[in-house]
Amino acid sequence: MLFCELDDRQVDALREVGNVGAGHAANALSQLIGRPVTLSVPRVEAVPFPRASTILGGPETEVAALYMKVYGDTRGNILVVFAPQDLATLAGQVLRAPISSIHTPNALERSAILEIGNIMAASYLNAISQMLQLSLIPSVPALAVDMVGAILEAPIVELSRVADSALVLQTEFREARQSFRGHFFLLPDPQSLDAMLDALARP
């Protein structure tokens, strides 16, 4: 399935998938920090690779990103992207104490940061696993704090073997008092998008 061939009904169905997944991810994050987390309406769009970094402020913008691969019946990539200071704030809320540095976190801070990715990806995938009756498992998260362009190359290279654009399910989430906000991205592999769409089409 090529992303450009998706019809409106399929895009709506994928948006609903994004909504359910992100709702659970935000809920899990909220429980982790004991504060409400709100969500934007998810966006579903096909983004040509050369344009991908414009979504996040241009290729040289510094961001902090958690990256996970998705294994199981549908494969893909998850990125959770923050302004570096925002991820530092969130990690501080998880630990109930400010962190020393987002660039050189100590072992405890690092595991708190990775746990944010873990919790969000696992609850997102759990929710859509149940919705679609598919098995979806996240990999161990990895952290990078660097230029957007360079960070996006990781999932794009995975997809680029078979495609020239990425289907992006994007949701923005924020802590109710605006102490941080972030972007959750699911980028399904083109081949396994069929599995998702088949599952969605089941009565």
Residues of this chain that bind other proteins (CB under 8 A): 49-50, 53, 58-60, 62, 67, 69, 103, 139-144, 146-154, 156-157, 160-161, 164
Nearest-approach distance from CB 122 to other proteins, in angstroms = 16
How far is C-alpha 18 from the chain's CA centre?
Answer: 10
Shorter beta-carbon distance to other proteins: residue 41 or 162? 162
| Structure tokens belonging to residue 115 | 């746990």
Q: How far is the CB of 38 from other proteins (least distance, A)?
A: 28
User: Closest separation between CB of residue 53 and other proteins, Å?
Assistant: 6
Task: Return the number of the residue (97 or 157) whose C-beta is nearest other proteins.
Answer: 157
Nearest distance, CB of residue 7 and other proteins, angstroms = 26
Q: Which is nearer to other proteins, 175 or 189 (CB)?
A: 189
Residue 160 and residue 172: Cα distance in Å, rounded?
25
Alpha helices in 133-189 (DSSP H): 148-160
**Is 93 or 118 the residue whose CB approaches other proteins more closely?**
118
Q: How far apart are CA 140 and CA 77, in angstroms?
A: 12
Query: What string of DSSP letters covers 36-89?
Result: -EEEPPPEEEEEEGGGGGGGGT-TT-EEEEEEEEEEESS-EEEEEEE-HHHHHH
Give the DSSP H/E element, type plus range, for residue 73.
none
The token pair at 196 is 């998702």
Name the residue nearer to other proteins (CB basis): 45 or 164. Answer: 164
Q: Residue 33: enclosing H or E segment and its boundaries?
A: helix 8-33
Q: How far is the CB of 51 from other proteins (least distance, A)?
A: 8
